[in-house]
Amino acid sequence: MSYPADLRYSKEHEWVRVEDSRATIGITSFAAEELGDIVFVELPEIGADLSQFGTFGVVESVKAVSDLYAPISGTVVEVNEALGDAPELMNSDPFGEGWIARVELSDPSQLDALMDADAYAAETA
Amino acid sequence: MSYSPHTEADRSRMLAAIGVGSVDDLFADIPAAVRAGDWAIPDPLTEQEVRAELARLAGRNRIPEVSFLGAGVYRHLVPAVVGEVIGRPEFATAYTPYQPEVSQGTLQSIYEFQSLICELTGMEVATASHYDGATATAEAALMACRLTRRHRVAVSAGVNPDYRRVLETYCSGPGVEVVIVPIDLAEGGSGATDPAAAAAALGDDVACLVAAQPNFYGQLEPMAELAEAAHGAGGLLVAVVEPTSLAILAPPGAYDADIVAAEGQPLGIPASFGGPYVGLMAARMAAVRQMPGRLVGATRDVEGRKGYVLTLQAREQHIRRERAASNICTNQALMALAATTYLTAVGPQGLREVAELSSVQARHLAAALEDAGLAHRRFGGTYFAEVTMTVADAARRLAALAERGIVAGYLPERDEPQLRDTLLLAATELTTDDDVARLVEALEATR
């Protein structure tokens, strides 16, 4: 399987897309597939401080309930409210409309601790 | 024969592994005063001797001939069908098994209970029940904290003092601050929560205002205004209600309550010391994932037949472990079935008659005491079926009447010193005019 080349990936199967000082966070297509039909996501609060690899929410599928781990530290500036009514967007478009939150990065150097698309593809192979 | 599978060596290894000196040290947090001392266990008795001893103990019970005691528990008629249904072996002995879905009958009865509680409260979703009204109230306050992500709870002093104590215990663990919103207890006062005072006490970081309708002193609260005050502070309104009163009072759904908690005992469960009782909880659908305890849902199987399931279990302890919505993983199924059977047996009209008769008899009681010059209403405003009366020398006369087999209500000064020389008297449809006449006569005799 191949993954978008412009993203960074964590071992916990979250992705980050960096645009200037902000980053968008979501879960990967691999995670979405493993979870099965996602029925609920508990979003972080705007203004919450996330720390890299700390939990920041919960995703619930018909099979399991899993914590969401922040791939990067930062302050939440926006959450994907659309997931409230349509959590299945995380299954159908995990790298696009299924995004979870946007954060203001506190330490961009943390990106170095994440994988690129090829490394993540190898990790999930 | 020893029932313990562990040898002394096993125990020593376990204690060493956790770094504790002795088994007694594990109980160090329990105050010495409440620990069991030496057991004084008498010699064995024959069955005949045991029966005689139990009969002797039972003979010491004093069943009042006339009672006006309420204060959260109410003596209503329990139709015989309630005992008949909950005594059926399928219900009386079966616990919701794992896998619960094999017990479709049990799940259906819980689903019907939830539907009835929703109809009664005007809310959108109800849980499968809780231990009692006090724990349901505490759980509702913690649920409000989860929903608002705030950690301060305001409680009207009109909420049952026992509920407030349980709430404080529940809040002490997670570090939730509990503040009391005072009510006007002065002679001739409203006996209710003042919305302006409540608004001032709430602040902008309060998770909820907990208020009771009717309140502990029988008084009706301005619930719609209290809801407005709570919402104005960005918090929720937790309404603690008396279920039979909902047949004639506005349901919490109509005054914008966010969470409803109640003691379900008046619905077909006899008044008895220590219960078992049943807690009710209902809320808006948007809050469903933060509700504690179990929920039964209706669905269809692959062949399109109706069926019942335990739903949204992810909130529960056995899946989310320490991140669960609550430590409650079960419900008070048999007592919930009693409430379901009761509500079904009396129907909407029957419940309205129960509520009307109770409130009519409470007014007859208050008027009789006032006409005899024995007492007068402590508060202005209006009340449901329980009334706080100012009575000279209340504590002494309550004790004197108990000697005559009459329980003249509850003594509010136990919880509120300000309410010295008042009695809280409850009436239900079982309160007869003769009961009232006997109370008047007995109070006269103790002037």
Give the chain A residue whose CA is nearest to the CA of B314.
A65
Residue percentage of chain B with pLDDT more than 90: 81
Among the partner residues B149, B289, B323, nearest to A40 by beta-carbon distance: B289
Which pLDDT score is estimated for A2? 82
Write the pLDDT tens digit of every residue in A6-27.
Answer: 999 999 999 999 998 999 999 9
Contacts of B149 in chain A (CB under 8 A): 45
pLDDT of A86 strictly over 70: yes
What confidence score (pLDDT) does residue B183 get? 95
Question: Which pLDDT value is given to residue B381?
Answer: 94
Q: Note the pLDDT of residue B40.
A: 86
Locate the chain A residue with the closest alpha carbon to B288.
A40
Confidence of residue A79 (pLDDT cuts 50, 70, 90): very high
Average model confidence (pLDDT) for chain A?
A: 93
Share above pLDDT 70 across residues of chain A, in percent, rounded to a whole number? 100
Q: Which pLDDT score is estimated for B319?
A: 72
The pLDDT tens digits of the residues spanning B220-254 come to: 999 999 999 999 999 999 999 999 999 999 999 99
- The answer to whether the Cβ–Cβ distance between A60 and B314 falls below 8 Å is yes
Nearest CA-CA distance, residue A34 and chain B, Å = 17
Distances in Å between the Cα of B6 and the Cα atoms of B3, B12, B17, B23, B25 are: 9, 10, 15, 13, 18
**Nearest Cβ partner of A45 from B149, B314, B320?**
B149
Average pLDDT for B107-125: 97
Interchain proximity B319–A65, CB inside 8 Å: yes
* DSSP structure string for A63-123: S-EEEEE-SS-EEEEEE-THHHH-TTHHHH-TTTTT--EEEEES-GGGGGGSB-HHHHHHH
Q: Look over chain B and give the mean of its residue pLDDT values, rounded to a whole number.
A: 94
pLDDT at B39 over 90: no
CA B278, B279, B280, B284 torsion: positive or negative? Answer: negative
Amino acid sitting at position B347: G
CB distance B320–A65 less than 8 Å?
yes
Its pTM surpasses 0.80 = yes
Residue B164: the pLDDT is 98
| pLDDT given for residue A36 in this prediction | 92
State CA B133 to chain mean position distance: 2
pLDDT band at B382 (very low <50, low <70, confident <90, very high): very high
CA-based nearest residue to B242, from B216, B275, B268, B209: B216
Q: Which residues are paired to B308 by β-bridges?
A: B298
Supply the pLDDT for residue B327: 76
Residue in chain A lying closest to B315 (CA): A65
Instruction: Identify the pLDDT of residue B43.
Output: 92
Flag whether residue B92 sits within 8 Å of chain A, measured between CB atoms: no
Band the pLDDT of B35: cuts 50, 70, 90.
confident
Which residue on chain A is closest to B290 by alpha carbon?
Answer: A42
Identify the band that residue B1 occupies on the pLDDT scale cut at 50, 70 and 90.
low
Nearest-angstrom CA–CA distance, B46 and B417: 50
- Tokens representing B345 are 């047996």
pLDDT value for B222:
98
Is the Cβ of A46 closer than 8 Å to some Cβ of chain B?
Answer: no
Are residues A116 and A12 in contact, defined by beta-carbon separation less than 8 angstroms? Answer: no
Q: What pLDDT shows up at residue A4?
A: 94
* Residue in A with minimal Cα distance to B320: A65
Q: Report d(CA B377, CA B412) in Å as an integer.
A: 14
Write the DSSP symbol of residue B246.
G
DSSP state, residue B251: P
Question: Do B314 and A65 count as a contact with CB atoms less than 8 A apart?
Answer: yes
Cα B346-B132-B343 angle, rounded to 5 deg: 10
pLDDT of residue B97: 62
Mean pLDDT of A74-97: 95
Q: Please judge whether A65 and B149 are an interchain contact, meaning their C-beta atoms are less than 8 angstroms apart.
A: no
Q: Given this model, what pLDDT does residue B98 score?
A: 65
pLDDT tens string B166-199: 999 999 999 999 999 999 999 999 999 999 999 9
**pLDDT tens profile B44-87:** 999 999 999 999 999 998 889 999 999 999 999 999 999 999 99
Q: Please give the residue of chain B at the shortest CA–CA distance from A57.
A: B323
Using a CB-CB cut-off of 8 Å, the residues of chain A touching B145 are none
* Whole-Å CA distances, B104 to B90, B97, B108, B297, B328: 11, 11, 6, 11, 22
Q: Cβ(B261)–Cβ(B133) under 8 Å?
A: yes
The residue type of A88 is E
Residue type, B2: S
Q: What was the pLDDT predicted at B370?
A: 97
Report chain A residues whose CB lies below 8 A from the CB of B289: 40, 42
- Which of residues 291 through 320 in chain B touch A, CB cutoff 8 A? 314, 319-320
Question: Is the model's pLDDT at B326 over the cut of 90?
Answer: no
B286 has a pLDDT exceeding 70: yes
Q: Answer whether residue B322 shows pLDDT above 80.
A: no
* Interchain CB distance below 8 Å, B314 and A45: no
Mean pLDDT over B201-229 rounds to 97
Q: What is the pLDDT of residue B94?
A: 65
The sign of the torsion formed by the CA atoms of B330, B336, B337, B340 equals negative
pLDDT at B309 (0 to 100): 92
- Of the two residues B279 and B5, the one the predictor is more confident about is B279
Separation between Cα atoms, residue B110 and residue B336, nearest integer Å:
7
Encode pLDDT of B75-87 as tens digits. 999 999 999 999 9
Smallest Cα distance from A108 to chain B, Å: 29
**Tokens of residue B26, six digits:** 């594990």
Q: What is the distance in angstroms between the Cα of B314 and the nearest Cα belonging to chain A?
A: 6
